[in-house]
Amino acid sequence: VRVDLSEQAQQADDVARQQLSAQLLWTLRQVPSMRGVVITAGGQPFPVAGTEAVQPRGSWPQFNPDGLVSDAPWYLVRSGSVLSMAAPGTVAAQVPGAAGVGEPPVRHPVISLDQTAVAATDRSPEVLTARTEAGARWRPARTTATSAGGSWDRTGLLWLPDGASGAQVVTVLGSRDVPLRLPDVRSVQVSRDGTRVVVVAGPADDARAYLLRVDRSTGPPTVSAPRQLPTGPVRAAAWASATQVALLVEDPGQPAQVATVDLGLFSVRLLGGPPRARSVAAGPGRPLLSGTADGQIWQFNGSTWVPLVAGRQPRYPG
């Protein structure tokens, strides 16, 4: 398969070229006859460090779109501390470092995809970040946003909703605006491969979920081509896999419930939800979780929701 990009793609650095190549290869794997890809830009060769001119079908395994190991733990907040749980029935353990101590108390934890860092919001409210290792301390993130509705991508960028620009990406050097042509952005959930983002935007009682494409070919990430997902009002969102999104939907006059959206077919499956559901967590091959207003976390067992553990704001890495 030959793919010719725009001439602007030649400006991409080595990292962006690898990410773009991985995105193309993983997308084209859906074509059974595809054995390799030749990428050009403006009709000219598009060299990519670490690969040949013909990139084989199996290239870039480290960029698996699901991006999460099957036994990855999930995380929650209890009494202001960030805890992790390896499996149902196990005891929640404090995350190493400041995040697990609960001083200051934090909420809305977001765990990096490699599980080495955590971001959360204190009471001020200020976004703090810390390593998940013994002795690690909280450090203020250089942003005016909040970690509520945020996410991490594979490259280590922390994405946060921002009332002014739409979204911000945060690094140790500071934050950068990512303009979104959507009003009242409430959640920015970047896919674990970093190529797409689900944004929840709109009034609190009538927000909607949109799927957008992430472009990194010419430098800092930009997003484009919003497509509204086919559900009613949405409170929260999470990536269940590379092809499926979990949403917490709130139709007027109805209790909140979890819905999954197949991004290939744009079909919706309603799964009900626990009483007074406030959040949803999802990961590839992992059970759906939902936090409730009374401080309980519930799990979907395939047919119904069952109480799991005390805590709030469950979260898988990413």
Q: Which of 67, 64, 76 is nearest to 111 (CA)?
A: 76
The tens digit of pLDDT for each residue in 21-52 reads: 988 988 888 788 999 999 999 999 999 998 99
Do 230 and 251 lie in one domain? The reply is yes
Rounded to an integer, what distance in angstroms lies between the CA atom of residue 81 and that of residue 109? 9
User: Looking at 12, 33, 63, which one is the last position of a domain?
Assistant: 63
Rounded to an integer, what distance in angstroms lies between the CA atom of residue 235 and that of residue 273? 13
What is the CB neighbour count within 10 angstroms for residue 10?
17
Rounded to an integer, what distance in angstroms lies between the CA atom of residue 272 and that of residue 281? 14
Give residue for tokens 């598009």: 46
Higher pLDDT, 74 or 253: 74
pLDDT at 105 over 70: yes
Structure tokens at 203: 């009034």
Do 246 and 125 lie in one domain? The reply is yes
Q: What is the CATH number of the domain that holds 311?
A: 2.120.10.30
Do 281 and 178 lie in one domain? The reply is yes
The tens digit of pLDDT for each residue in 274-303 reads: 999 999 999 998 999 999 999 999 999 999
Q: Is residue 238 part of a domain?
A: yes
Do 135 and 282 lie in one domain? The reply is yes
The pLDDT value recorded for residue 172 is 80
Cis peptide before 104 (omega within 30 of 0): yes
Q: Is residue 68 part of a domain?
A: no
Contact 317, 115 (CB under 8 A): yes
Q: Is residue 30 part of a domain?
A: yes
Number of domains in the chain: 2
Give residue for tokens 């934890």: 109
Q: Say if pTM beats, i.e. exceeds, 0.95.
A: no
Do 203 and 88 lie in one domain? The reply is yes
Rounded to an integer, what distance in angstroms lies between the CA atom of residue 82 and that of residue 74? 10
Do 107 and 256 lie in one domain? The reply is yes
Do 37 and 129 lie in one domain? The reply is no
Q: Is residue 294 part of a domain?
A: yes
Distances (CA, A) of 232 to 202, 253, 254: 12, 12, 11
DSSP code of residue 34: -
Structure tokens at 309: 């553990």
Cα angle value 244/201/230 (rounded, 5°): 45
Domain, as residue range, for 41: 2-63
Q: Is residue 69 part of a domain?
A: no
User: Looking at 25, 44, 63, which one is the last position of a domain?
Assistant: 63
User: Looking at 63, 84, 112, which one is the last position of a domain?
Assistant: 63
- Expressed in percent and rounded to 5, the helix, strand and coil fractions of the chain are 10, 40, 50
Q: Is residue 8 part of a domain?
A: yes
Do 158 and 37 lie in one domain? The reply is no
Do 11 and 148 lie in one domain? The reply is no
Structure tokens at 212: 């957008």
Q: Is residue 219 part of a domain?
A: yes
pLDDT bucket at 88, cuts 50 / 70 / 90: low
Rounded to an integer, what distance in angstroms lies between the CA atom of residue 243 and that of residue 193? 11
Do 14 and 146 lie in one domain? The reply is no
Do 57 and 150 lie in one domain? The reply is no
Contact 280, 246 (CB under 8 A): yes
pLDDT bucket at 65, cuts 50 / 70 / 90: confident
Q: Which residues contact residue 166 at a Cβ distance below 8 angstroms, ignoring those fewer than 6 apart?
A: 177, 178, 179, 180, 181, 182, 185, 199, 201
